[in-house]
Amino acid sequence: MRLLTAITVLLLCVQPALGGQITLKNGDVITGKISAFDGSEYTVETDYIDGEFKVSADDVSDIKTDTVMDVQYTDGEVMTGTLGMKDGAVVVVDESGDQTPIDVARIDEVAEVEDWFQWNADVHIGLSGAEGNTKNSLFHADASLEPQWGPNRFRFYGQLNEGTTTDQTTDVKSTTESNWRLLFQYNRDLSYRWYLFAANQWDSDKLMRLNARTSVAGGAGYKIWQEDYRDWWIELGPAYVHENWKNPTEDEDYVAARWALNFEHDIYSDDFRFYHNHNILESLQELDRFIFQSTTGIKFELIGDLVGSLEVQFDYNNEPGTVTLSDGSERRAKKEDLRYMFKLGYEFGS
């Protein structure tokens, strides 16, 4: 309560820049933008305090805001409008001025309506290395673009890994890694949490003699969290996989199930963010055959839109291809790929 009082005093001393006002039962007035409401607390943003703060609904006597909100109920019903109060109850005021009381017990989430068009993009460069009797180095680059038009969301993603090792005694250099990945995905929102997706991914690995693995998948996704400080979604659906190897006799097609997960959460503040995502292709024709690809890391802000990341990438294929050794012989490639790296990136968007 002391923190709330201090915030109130500060806001009363300055001219508000954000549209919105909360009147407390003790007579104090807080100015700022109401960005969310969960039935028991309002989330408020201002130009004068860094970040957000919460106001208990039990302490509020009146609300005035020009922020358009989506009121999402647990049964999928959605109401859109600004928030207000009538006879002590929170209401949604629509474009015509009609006021509809909010059923607090049914609230899933109340959040600000997003702009019709949004986009985000990022570019990262990663490096890792070790030196001793052998000198190992890895170069990594990735980039993504995610535009959104209303319920239509797109994602374009690509990454490249190139690794070498050098014998310091003989100065013989050899390639330890050479692969790339491209992904295109389209999502169509059905409701606040459910959506349909279609995804096409291409993987290539020179050392495994994999020219390209093409997977085409579709199915349903569910957004468990979708807030500024945390994000969590899952996807499941069927996939068709075609593998094109350097040796044409190894080419293969099969039907698979695709599972994907993305989890992100701020740590202590929005300056640090933990993230993990993975993708699994499980063959439906040979149940002991699967491919697992994952990325885990911590991202932190540096200066402006410049960010750093400490990241681990782990890929597993229980039926990898063959590799050719320096003496010309062949052997089965390792099932797992593990990379540790520091990444420097730039993020931008609307």
Q: What is the DSSP string of 18-67?
A: SS-EEEETTS-EEESEEEEE-SSEEEEE-SSSSSEEEEEGGGEEEEE---
The model's pTM:
0.76
Same domain, yes or no: 54 and 171: no
Same domain, yes or no: 89 and 185: no
Same domain, yes or no: 201 and 274: yes
pLDDT number for residue 88: 87
Furthest-apart CA atoms within the chain: distance in Å: 84
CA distances from 40 to 58, 67, 77, 108 (A): 7, 19, 20, 12
Same domain, yes or no: 108 and 126: no
User: What type of residue sits at position 79?
Assistant: M
**Domain end among 112, 137, 162:** 112
pLDDT number for residue 325: 62
Same domain, yes or no: 45 and 126: no
pLDDT number for residue 14: 40
Q: How far is C-alpha 250 from the chain's CA centre?
A: 35
pLDDT number for residue 11: 41
pLDDT number for residue 7: 45
Same domain, yes or no: 283 and 334: yes
Angle at CA of residue 37, ends 34 and 39, nearest 5°: 145
pLDDT number for residue 328: 65
- The helices-and-strands tally (H runs, E runs) of the chain is 1, 25
Which residues lie closer than 8 Å to 203 by C-beta, 6 or more apart?
Answer: 179, 180, 181, 210, 212, 213
Same domain, yes or no: 132 and 263: yes
Which residues lie closer than 8 Å to 270 by C-beta, 6 or more apart?
Answer: 51, 228, 229, 301
Are 73 and 107 spatial neighbours (Cβ–Cβ below 8 Å)? yes
**Domain end among 112, 143, 170:** 112
CATH of the domain at 248: 2.40.230.20
Same domain, yes or no: 155 and 288: yes
Same domain, yes or no: 28 and 122: no
Are 78 and 70 spatial neighbours (Cβ–Cβ below 8 Å)? yes
- Residue 158 corresponds to which tokens in the numbers above? 């690509």
Q: Along the 350 residues of the chain, how does pLDDT read in single tens digits?
A: 454 444 444 444 444 445 688 899 999 888 888 888 888 998 888 766 766 888 999 999 999 888 888 898 888 788 888 999 998 899 999 888 889 999 999 998 888 887 779 999 999 999 887 776 678 899 999 999 999 998 899 999 999 999 998 877 787 888 889 999 999 999 999 887 899 999 999 999 998 889 999 999 999 999 998 878 899 999 999 999 999 998 887 899 999 999 999 999 999 888 999 999 999 999 999 988 999 999 999 999 999 999 999 999 999 999 887 766 656 667 777 899 999 999 999 999 97
Q: Determine the structural domain holding residue 35 and report its residue range.
A: 2-112
Same domain, yes or no: 135 and 78: no
> How many domains would you assign to the chain?
2
b/e for 257-271, b at 16 or more Cβ within 10 A? bbbbbbbbebeeeee
Same domain, yes or no: 26 and 123: no
DSSP 282-340: EESSSTT-EEEEEEEEEEEE-STTEEEEEEEEEEEESS--EEE-TTS-EEEPPSEEEEE
**Domain end among 56, 80, 112:** 112
CA dist 300 and 306 (Å) reads: 9
Are 20 and 29 spatial neighbours (Cβ–Cβ below 8 Å)? no
Q: How far is C-alpha 236 from the chain's CA centre?
A: 16
Write the DSSP symbol of residue 134: E
CA dist 233 and 205 (Å) reads: 28
- Residue 228 corresponds to which tokens in the numbers above? 């500024």
Same domain, yes or no: 264 and 328: yes
b/e for 167-190, b at 16 or more Cβ within 10 A? eeeeeeeeeebebbbbbebebebe
Q: Quick one: CA torsion of 315, 320, 321, 324, rounded to 10 degrees?
A: 70
